[in-house]
Amino acid sequence: MPEHALLETRGLVVDYAARRSFLGPANTSTRVLRGVDLYIEAGEIVGIVGESGSGKSTLGRAMLGLVPATEGSVLFDGFALADFPGGDIARKRHMQMIFQDPMSSLNPRHTIGAILTRPLLLHGVASDQRQAVGIAAAMLERVGLPVAVLSRYPHELSGGQRQRVGIARAALLRPRFVLADEVVSGQDVSTQARVLTLLRELCQEMGMALAFISHDLSVIRAFCNRLYVLNGGVVVEEGASETVFAKPKHAYTQALISAIPIPDPSVRW
C-alpha cells in the first residue's frame, strides 16, 4: 500500500448474524468478508468486481461505515472511521454513495429540491435556503437535468433522471470519496456511457476518488484505473486494469474474463 492512501481497509472481516427462528437452533454467523486489504488514493477510480455473493456490496458498505467490521479496520485519510475529526457529520460530508436503485434511496414524500438542499444546509455549505437552491440548480444543470426538476417528486422522473439526481446528490457536497454500487446495472449501453462519462468528468473536476462496484467486467475495463477481484469474501487478484485483463493470474479472474460476451460473434464462429 502507498504511505498515505485516502481510504484503506486492513484485514477487514465482516460477519452477518443469522436470525433465530422460534424454537429453532442457536444463532450462527455467516462470514462475508475474510480479511480484505484494499487501498484507494485521492482522485483514483478503482473497480471492485465479483459475481453475486462475492461480498463486493458488503465491502462497499463497510468502507462507508454502514456495516460494522467484525475484525480489522477501515481508515479514511489516516483516521479510523469512528475517530475522524469532527465526528460522523464531518466524515459523511467527505464520503458519499450512489445507490443502484435511486427510487428506493430518494424520499418519495420530498421534492427533488428538498432532497438536494437539506444536505447543503445541514453541512453548512449554504448559509440559507436561497443559496442552497442556487447550488442545487447548478448541480442539476451539471448532470444534464433542467432546473424545473427541483419542483418534482422522484416518481415523476424517469429511471435515468433519478440516477442523475442520485449522482447530483452525491457530488453536491464536493466529497473526497464516492462509492458507486452497480449504478449502471440494467441500463442500456447509451445510458451507461453517459453515466460513466459524467462520473469520470466529476472525478476530474473535483479530484474525488471513486470506488466502482460492478459485476460487469466490460464496464470495469473501460472505466477503472485499478481493480480488485473478490471471490468468497477474499481478494483473489488486484492491479492495474490493463495488466489484469491482459494477463490474469488467478483462475477465478480468468474464468470471469473468459465469460465476457464478444461484441462480434463472427470472431468466434
209-220 per-position pLDDT tens digit: 999 999 888 889
Find the range with the poorest average confidence among 22-36, 106-120, 177-191, 243-257: 22-36
Residue 107: pLDDT above 70? yes
- Whose cell is 483462475? That residue is 251
pLDDT in tens, 119-148: 999 998 999 999 999 999 999 999 999 999
Answer positive or negative: Cα dihedral of 53, 54, 59, 60.
Answer: negative
Model-level pTM? 0.88
CATH architecture of 7-267: 3-Layer(aba) Sandwich (3.40)
Is residue 9 within 8 A of residue 81, CB to CB? The reply is: no
Residue 190: pLDDT above 90? no
Confidence bin at 4 (pLDDT 50/70/90): confident
Please give the pLDDT value at position 100: 80
Helix orientation angle between 189-206 and 159-171, rounded to the nearest 10 degrees: 10
For the chain, the maximum distance between any two Cα atoms, rounded to a whole number of angstroms, is 63
- Alpha carbons 104 and 92: distance in angstroms, whole number: 20
Please give the pLDDT value at position 218: 86
The DSSP result for 134-189, as a single string, is HHHHHHHHHTT--GGGGGS-GGGS-HHHHHHHHHHHHHTT--SEEEEESTTTT--H
**Sequence ranges of the domains in the chain:** 7-267
